[in-house]
Amino acid sequence: MKRRLLDLGFFPGATIKVLQRSPLGDPVAYQVSNTTIALRSEESSLIFGVLIGDDFR
């Protein structure tokens, strides 16, 4: 999974934006670099970062 996330642009210093949550909350669509990807909660739990701003509904 780590290799897949790195290949998609999830690397240290990357900016990740939450685009949309499904009605039940899983999966969630993220934008990283110029890529949009939907991740399940078990996959996104492998990503650590710093929240910038407070618009994370």
The verdict on residue 36 lying in a domain is yes
pLDDT of residue 39: 92
Per-residue pLDDT at 40:
93
CATH code for the domain of 31: 2.30.30.90
Q: Please count the structural domains in the chain.
A: 1
Question: pLDDT of 8-57, one tens digit each?
Answer: 888 888 888 999 999 988 999 999 988 899 999 998 888 888 877 766 55
Q: Is residue 30 part of a domain?
A: yes
- pLDDT value at position 11? 85
Q: For residue 52, tell me if it sits in a domain.
A: no
| Full domain range(s) for residue 32 | 2-44
Helices within the chain (DSSP H only): 2-7, 41-44
Q: Give domain status of residue 50, yes or no.
A: no
Contact 7, 26 (CB under 8 A): no
Full-model pTM: 0.74
**26 CB-side CA count, 13 A:** 6
Please report whether residue 25 resides in a domain: yes
Asked, for residue 24, whether it belongs to a domain, the answer is yes
Give residue 29's pLDDT: 95
Reference 36, options 52, 20, 47; nearest CA is 20
User: Measuring CA to CA, how many Å separate 18 from each of 2, 55?
Assistant: 19, 9
